[in-house]
Amino acid sequence: MRAAIGQFAVTPDTRTNAQTCIRLMAQAAAGQADMLVLPEALLARDDSDPDLSVKSAQYEDGDFLRRLLRESAGNTLTTILTLHVPTSDGRATNTLFALRGGQIIARYQKLHLYDAFSIQESRRVDAGHSIPPLINVAGMRVGLMTCYDLRFPELALAHALRGAEVLVLPAAWVRGPLKEHHWQTLLAARALDTTCWIVASGECGTRNIGQSRVVDPLGVTVAAAAEEPALLFAELSALRVAEVRERLPVLANRRFAPPQLS
The CATH code of the domain that includes 51 is 3.60.110.10
Instruction: Using pLDDT thresholds of 50, 70 and 90, give the confidence band for residue 156.
Output: very high
Average pLDDT over residues 145-170: 97
pLDDT of residue 132: 93
Q: What is the pLDDT of residue 262?
A: 58
The verdict on residue 71 lying in a domain is yes
The whole-number pLDDT of residue 159 equals 97
DSSP tag of 163: T
Phi, psi at residue 31, to the nearest 5°? -85, 10
Q: CA separation (Å) from 154 to 57, 171, 234? A: 29, 18, 26
Please check whether residue 236 lies inside any domain of the structure.
Answer: yes
**pLDDT higher than threshold 90 for residue 142:** yes
What is the set of active-site residues?
40, 110, 147
Domain that holds residue 168: 2-246
Would residue 36 count as lying in a domain?
yes
Q: What average pLDDT does this structure show over 57-77?
A: 97
Is position 20 within any domain?
yes
Residue 251 lies in a domain: no
Confirm whether 252 is domain-assigned.
no
In a domain? residue 257: no
E runs forming strands in the chain: 2-7, 35-37, 78-88, 91-100, 103-109, 115-116, 119-120, 125-126, 135-137, 140-144, 166-171, 197-202, 213-215, 221-224, 230-235
- 211 vs 47, residue with greater confidence: 211
Identify whether 256 is part of a domain. no
Number of domains within the chain:
1
Query: pLDDT over 70 for what percent of the chain?
Result: 99
Tell me, what's the pLDDT at 165? 98
State how beta strands 166-171 and 230-235 pair. Answer: unpaired
163-201 pLDDT tens trace: 999 999 999 999 999 999 999 999 999 999 999 999 999
Q: What is the dihedral of CA 169, 173, 177, 178, to 10 degrees?
A: 10
